[in-house]
Amino acid sequence: MSNGLSAVDLSALLLPVSDRLLIVPSVVVAEIIKRRDLHPPAGAPDWLLGRIQWHHAAVPVISFEALNNDQRPDPGAGSRIVILATVGEAVPERYYAILSQGVPHLLRLTPDDVREAEGVMRGPAELMQVRVHGQRAAIPDLEYLERHAGIGAAGD
């Protein structure tokens, strides 16, 4: 490749959530916006934080931590809403959002940058626990998140 990148380089965003980072391919990130007040619908599951209006659509905002069987954190002043495009075909919604506990950072990764974290239990919303440049991170199961976001978008 003429730009100095190899075919296995990945442009990703590191999203801070509770005690780790999520590695999300930048191609699925539609927009990052400031946190808004979220109001979950009555009877909503703990992981559904509410919905936001974005480009004429009601986009469900989910808590990765709660979906991963961790404690749902209180959003801080620096938290952001990261709007993601769906990648799977099982969900009719095109977008959903995750609450990030800080400002996401762009990172270009190579296979040498990511190491599987050995002896670490992964949650149901994670494909793998890894270490990236010495920091704990998780590769989320995007289709798992999308299925739940589809449930959250389906009704109040």
Model pLDDT for residues 39-98, shown as the tens digit of each residue: 888 999 999 999 999 999 889 999 999 999 988 877 777 899 999 998 877 666 789 999
Host domain of residue 56? 10-154
Q: What is the CATH number of the domain that holds 67?
A: 2.40.50.180
pLDDT value, residue 151: 67
Backbone angles phi, psi at 26, to 5 degrees: -65, -25
Backbone angles phi, psi at 108, to 5 degrees: -100, 125
Domain membership flag for residue 91: yes
Residue 78 three-state SS: coil
Tokens 């440049």 belong to 133
Domain membership flag for residue 3: no
Model pLDDT for residues 88-135, shown as the tens digit of each residue: 776 667 899 999 999 999 988 887 777 787 877 789 999 988 888 888
pLDDT value, residue 12: 92
